[in-house]
Amino acid sequence: MSVNIKLLMILFIAITQLNCKQKEGSDNQNGSVEVVTPTDFKEKSKDQLIIDIRTPQEFRQGYIEGAVNINYFDRDFLEKISQYDKSKPIFVYCRSGNRTSSASRKIAALGFEKVYDLQGGILNWMRNNNQIVKK
């Protein structure tokens, strides 16, 4: 009986570890998604494509310098995103990181080779004393 309990515990730990790794970064069929800290996002996104997927109203409240606003809730969201070069990295963020989790997977599935997802969104960006641009 104790062998069965040990096997169940090992299986539980393995599944838990696999689930955590998938949240941190995952490879999609066509590209990979990497969740990055604000510091890494800031360093890696210099002179790169940054997409703010919040609504236009949220965008006007403040955004990361150089970001392009493409509303995740627009019907043509994926169509607008697909117009960019899929061989170049794309940096994506929203308010708190919830929308980018789903959006990043969809973007990678479009064929983008590397998608960077800002951990915690723009709220975490500001908590880490990074500047935003206000319209």
> Could you tell me the residue ranges of all domains in the chain?
27-127
H-helix or E-strand containing 27? strand 25-27
Work out the widest C-alpha separation in the chain, in whole angstroms: 65
Angle at 70 between CA 112 and CA 84, to 5 degrees: 35
Tell me what the mean pLDDT of segment 31-55 comes to.
97
Per-residue pLDDT tens over the stretch 57-112: 999 999 999 999 999 999 999 999 999 999 999 999 999 999 999 999 999 999 99
Looking at residue 74, its pLDDT comes to: 97
What is the spatial distance between Cα 121 and Cα 105, in angstroms, rounded to a whole number?
16
Helix or strand run (H / E) with residue 106: helix 98-109
pLDDT tens-digit series, residues 17-34: 544 444 444 444 568 999
Q: In this predicted structure, what is the pLDDT of residue 21?
A: 40
Has residue 3 got a pLDDT over 80? no
Backbone angles phi, psi at 133, to 5 degrees: -100, 135
Q: Looking at the annotation, which residues are catalytic?
A: 94
Starting at the earlier edge strand, list the strands of the sheet with 25-27.
25-27, 32-36, 114-118, 90-93, 49-52, 68-69
Q: Under CATH, which number does the domain 27-127 receive?
A: 3.40.250.10
Confidence (pLDDT) at 26: 44
